[in-house]
Amino acid sequence: MNNLKIRPAKPSDLDFILHGNDVIDNLSGIKPKRGLTSEYIKQDIFCENPKAWIEIIEAFSDITGNVEPAAFIIYSFFYLASEGSAIWVSKFFIDPFCRKMNIGPRLRDYLFERYPECPSIFGCVGIENKTARVFFASMGANRYDDLPLYGVKR
């Protein structure tokens, strides 16, 4: 797979998003109280005033000859008094077959280009999710104190 394309998620992506979310929750050891469902995504994201955004990263499959979802990111914004608006990543899933395709750095660059007023991207990773911790470190993210919080600066 190669030739990555990033686009907004649409309702037809729900199965991929929910599957990836389940994989992440199982890796992190976090048992969410609310849980992510298609109803919540429709209500909170696929609506007139979204609370968050989902981008789908697609890649062309050399095996099937089709463009297929390779990853997704769910993100929103928050405000830092010292920096202004910043991006908060709440979920980032890369299909295991699509790892080592530079999806993370490509998505980081895409978000910084799309939101030039945001100097930082932050996210929190479950302690048990070694894959995510290594991934954030490989993108140049800094870990904050002893917290599983990572930040990438422009």
pTM, two decimals, is 0.85
Write the pLDDT tens digit of every residue in 81-130. Answer: 888 899 998 888 988 888 778 888 888 889 999 999 998 888 887 777 77
List, in sequence order, the alpha helices (H) in 10-102. Answer: 14-28, 38-44
**In Å, how far are 64, 72, 99, 136 from 19, measured between CA atoms?**
20, 11, 16, 21
CATH number at residue 31: 3.40.630.30
Domain tally for the chain?
A: 1
Q: What is the pLDDT of residue 117?
A: 93
Q: What is the pLDDT of residue 96?
A: 84
User: What's the whole-number mean pLDDT along residues 21-44?
Assistant: 81
Residue-range definition of the domain harbouring residue 140: 2-153
